[in-house]
Structure 1
Amino acid sequence: MSKENLYLCMGSACHQLGVYEVLPKLQSLIKEHDLEDKIELKGSFCLETCSVGIVMKFQDNVFTKISADNIEEKFTDEILPNIQEVVK
């Protein structure tokens, strides 16, 4: 079974907003929810929504305003339900 890609913007605006603090937390969340064999976390060049904070993309869904302080909540409330719908 092939993995679904989850993209994390690594562009310069997101870099300045602390994407490298978000990354380890995100990796832990993927592991915590047993998604390692279903999700491939990939860095992405600019996702062109620089004004709305750190950005992630899963399929056609874009998640914005992510920070090191809210990544757990954003992942659980917004990103995880989208992933679970696809990788049942």
Structure 2
Amino acid sequence: MTKEPLFLCMGSACHQLGVYEVLPRLQALMREHQLEDSVTLKGSFCLEICSNGITMKFRDQHFMNISPQNLDEIFVREILPAIQTVCSC
């Protein structure tokens, strides 16, 4: 089974916005929702929409304005449903 990549921008703008605080919580959310077998988290140098805050990408869908404070909400409301529509998770 091939894992789908979930990209997290690790570029300098996202670094300044707190991506290294987002990363461990994102890893925990992936474990909590048992996504390790179907999704692989990958760092991306830049997703080229820096003015939209910390950004993630799954397939062709971007998730923007992520912060350590709103990650849980965005993950459950937007990212998890996008993953579940294409993976048997």
TM-score, reference length from structure 2:
0.98
Aligned-pair identity in percent equals: 66
Per-residue CA deviation, residues 32-81 of structure 1 (Å, 9 max, x unaligned), is: 00000111000001101111100000000000000000000000000000
- Superposition CA RMSD, Å: 0.4
TM-score, reference length from structure 1:
0.99
Aligned twin of 2:41: 41
Aligned twin of 1:63: 63
Runs of 4 or more off by more than 3 Å in structure 1? none
Instruction: Letter of the 1:18 partner, please give it.
Output: G
Q: How many residues align?
A: 88
Aligned twin of 2:22: 22
Instruction: Letter of the 2:82 partner, please give it.
Output: N
Instruction: Give ranges in structure 1 of 5+ residues lacking alignment.
Output: none
